[in-house]
Structure 1
């Protein structure tokens, strides 16, 4: 008698569509974190509004992409749906959005 599993593990070396989308979302979040950190570090010199908006937008895109991957996943970790990367993209996107929001609020105070 054989046991049929609903979701079989897929090797980590394979780049499935779910994993690709979670990587793209996480990359958007990482870009947002970098730009938001730079905008916060340079807030005394002025002209940080553009960086703050970019960081906030990239963070929201990272969270949206990660949320989409998590919502569309039909299996757990190791199934190739990218659910782990989706959760990571959600966290990184949230961090980027917070940094962008902080930089934007500081740029409004100094302007």
Structure 2
């Protein structure tokens, strides 16, 4: 009878230990899996961020080129308007226009 009492008291304690160890092992495995998923997500997001930063730098460079081009075209119009207002320049009418042509090579040889 004593043998049965010992086995009866050992079995519930043994089962509790196995259950606790099983829960701990499952918790460790879930925790490890979550760490792996977090690292994967971080790397994926970092790669995406890097590509967006490269695209931002490319767009900023293109924006700079477009601003310079706009200033160049704006300067041409500004020069024309200043010539008219400050220097009182104008395009002459057709009656005041004189066309000068160079003599052709055959006329020069004569």
TM tier, shorter chain? 0.3 to 0.5
Structure 2 length normalisation: TM-score? 0.34
Structure 1 length normalisation: TM-score? 0.34
Q: Which has the higher contact order (CA 8 A, sep 6+)?
A: 1
When Rg is computed on C-alpha atoms for both structures, the one with the higher figure is: 2
Larger helix proportion of the pair: 2
